[in-house]
A and B are shown apart, each in its own frame.
Chain A
Amino acid sequence: MKISKEEVSYVAHLARLEFSEEETETFTSQLNDILMYMEKLNRADTAGVEPMSHATALSNAFRDDEVRESLSEERSLANAPDKQGGCFRVPKVVE
């Protein structure tokens, strides 16, 4: 076993997901299969190889710091599930 049910529940918490008992079992079994498959990477010799993060030669892409038009408050809030007084509204965070 690469990953236990407890670890699956912990990773789910990190990812802000929650599963039923049945889902946890299914995910544990499937994630184990997938992680077992990943094991084959250990056969590749990567000594001294720089990790590759993306495929082009670009490094930092800067632009000038100029004031430009941006989304209006109204359009920014148009899709909000809940809003009040020009702000996004969420359930209470602290008692």
Chain B
Amino acid sequence: MELYELTIHELQEKIRSGEVSASGILDSVFGRIEAVEVNVRAYITLLEEQAREEAAKADQRIKAGDINTLTGIPIALKDIFCTRGIKTTCGSHILHNFVPPYDATVVEKLREAGAVFTGKTNMDEFAMGSSTETSFFGVTRNPWDLDRIPGGSSGGSAAAVAAGECIASLGSDTGGSIRQPAALCGVVGMKPTYGRVSRFGMIAFASSLDQIGPFTKDVEDCAIMMNAIAGYDPRESTSVPTDVPDYRAFVERGIDGWNVGIPKEYFIEGIDAEVAAAVQKAIGVIEKLGGKCLPISLPHTEYCLAVYYIVAPAEASSNLARYDGVKYGFRSENGRDLLEMYKKTRSEGFGAEVKRRIMIGTYALSSGYYDAYYKKASQVRALIKRDFDDAFRQCDVILTPTSPTPAFKIGEKTDDPIKMYLSDIFTISANLAGIPGLSVPCGYTAGGLPIGLQFLAGHFAEGRLIQIAAAYEKNTGGEKRKPSL
């Protein structure tokens, strides 16, 4: 077993016992990057030199007995998080040269916990996509099958963990952008409750939906990462000042006597047969562990996608108004006056999917259409949240597939926006309701592609997700494979 294949908690033990050094772990990870990155292309920017300095410092601290929860652990960051002095592109031409003057709160927190940053990972432009194909910097490939997409928008962060090009990573999830790529790449991914993790220094897409979370190799690592990043931040006015539990304490608890809701609306026609079979098998495992699986209904599920594709573009059209070529980023040389400079900068700087969403959002918010689209969507959103409030009076967690299909082929859905949007059909509801969700691997297709199982819980019940996912992970009975790269 190479060091790059190990989990955070396994590496922590080896660091504490003196068996390995932070520099040794980093050598293994960068050796792996050298071997496979040419095929996977998970990163936009690699930070090898800086990482080596950080690892050397970590080794000094380890020698002095000053070991924190992530000391010496190589971690990758989605290129949506501002990193002081390090280019942060958000996958866009319009920010291709942007060097932030400050760090995001999550970056500060990981650094305080001792993390070593390997680099900035690839993503759909401004996190708008489900395949990482809209990145200005090219496509990331799924480590399990290089002809397929890794999911998106945090595809680089998911692929980097799956390929062993980092030990864990951070992503962001606005409609499924952590959970869907986690499912498609065979790793664990969590979207916490809205307000649980500070978004200060994260480039905004849809502010009422965006949330930050980890990609890890197992559920215990997910808990370790959540311990490092969760919590109130006075710089982020939507972060919620409630206590953060020790998530790691939930890993060994089991789920005997739990009620697990199975929403009938998530087992629809069009779901891939192998995905459906894997999820059915997982339901059997949950029951063996003492969970009572009961049918529930989330009656407004059919509206989630339509609500999302009004609310998210509306908020995006407002958030992305700041990219005008004045204060930072790309400016077109072709504008003769200010208005023309704005238009040329934005038209040359944004890719097609971003423009499409800005157009939908601007239209939905424009005079005469606001009531028909944005207001209506916000009302239906309230009904979707009410569905979950009702459901969590009957059950402790909800179980669904994460994605209706395994990883699809590169280029398969790029010409049909609605077909691409349907990739998020099972993940969007959690963002609309603000609840946490977690995807954990639950088997493979006959062709060897990973399948993901999603758990959803009520507001601030991330601990429950870790509890059930950890119990499931230990008892799946299936073999744990690694991609052959």
Contacts and interface: CB of A to CB of B under 8 A. Distances in A.
Contact of B363 (A11, A16, A49): A11
B303 A16 contact: no
B362 to A, nearest CB: 4
B362 A88 contact: no
Interface residues of B, number: 71
B195 A56 contact: yes
A79 B328 contact: yes
Contact of B378 (A3, A8, A52, A61): A52
A51 B378 contact: yes
B379 A40 contact: no
Q: Nearest 9 pairs between A and B by C-beta? A: A55-B434, A79-B328, A51-B378, A81-B331, A61-B237, A46-B379, A52-B382, A54-B208, A75-B101
Interface in A30-87: 30-31, 33-35, 37-38, 40-42, 44, 46, 49-56, 58, 61, 63, 71, 75-76, 78-82
Nearest to A64: B234
Interface in B92-126: 97-99, 101-102
Contacts of B366: 11, 14
Interface of B: 97-99, 101-102, 193-195, 207-208, 234, 237-238, 240, 300, 302-303, 305-307, 309-310, 317, 321, 324-331, 335-344, 346-347, 350, 355-356, 358-360, 362-363, 366, 373, 375-383, 385, 417-418, 432-435, 459
Contacts of A15: 317, 346, 358-359, 362
Contacts of A27: 355-356, 359
B378 A53 contact: yes
Chain B interface secondary structure, helix, strand, loop or mixed?
Answer: helix
Given A52-B379, A56-B238, A18 B433 contact: no
Chain A interface secondary structure, helix, strand, loop or mixed?
Answer: loop
11 contacts: A8-B359, A15-B346, A31-B356, A31-B363, A33-B418, A53-B378, A75-B101, A79-B97, A80-B327, A91-B336, A91-B337
Nearest to A44: B380
B85 to A, nearest CB: 10
Interface residues of A, number: 48
Given A38-B310, A40-B303, A41-B307, A18 B347 contact: yes
Interface in A1-35: 3, 7-8, 11-12, 14-19, 27, 30-31, 33-35
Nearest to A38: B306
Nearest to A3: B363
Contact of A18 (B238, B343, B379, B459): B343
Contacts of B194: 54-56
Contacts of B237: 58, 61
Nearest to A75: B101
Contacts of A53: 208, 378
Interface of A: 3, 7-8, 11-12, 14-19, 27, 30-31, 33-35, 37-38, 40-42, 44, 46, 49-56, 58, 61, 63, 71, 75-76, 78-82, 88, 90-93
Contacts of A63: 234
Given A56-B194, A79-B328, A17 B303 contact: no
B184 to A, nearest CB: 24
Nearest to A19: B347
Contact of A52 (B234, B329, B385): B385
A90 B326 CA distance: 7
B380 A41 contact: yes
A31 B302 contact: no
A79 B85 CA distance: 11
Nearest to B382: A52
A16 B342 contact: yes
Contact of B238 (A16, A38, A51, A61): A61
Contact of A38 (B321, B336, B373): B373
Contact of A93 (B193, B337, B418): B337
B178 to A, nearest CB: 17
Contacts of B382: 49-52
B99 A78 contact: yes
Nearest to B373: A38
B195 A17 contact: no
Contacts of B326: 80-81, 88, 90
A77 to B, nearest CB: 8
A31 B353 CA distance: 12
Nearest to A61: B237
A90 to B, nearest CB: 6
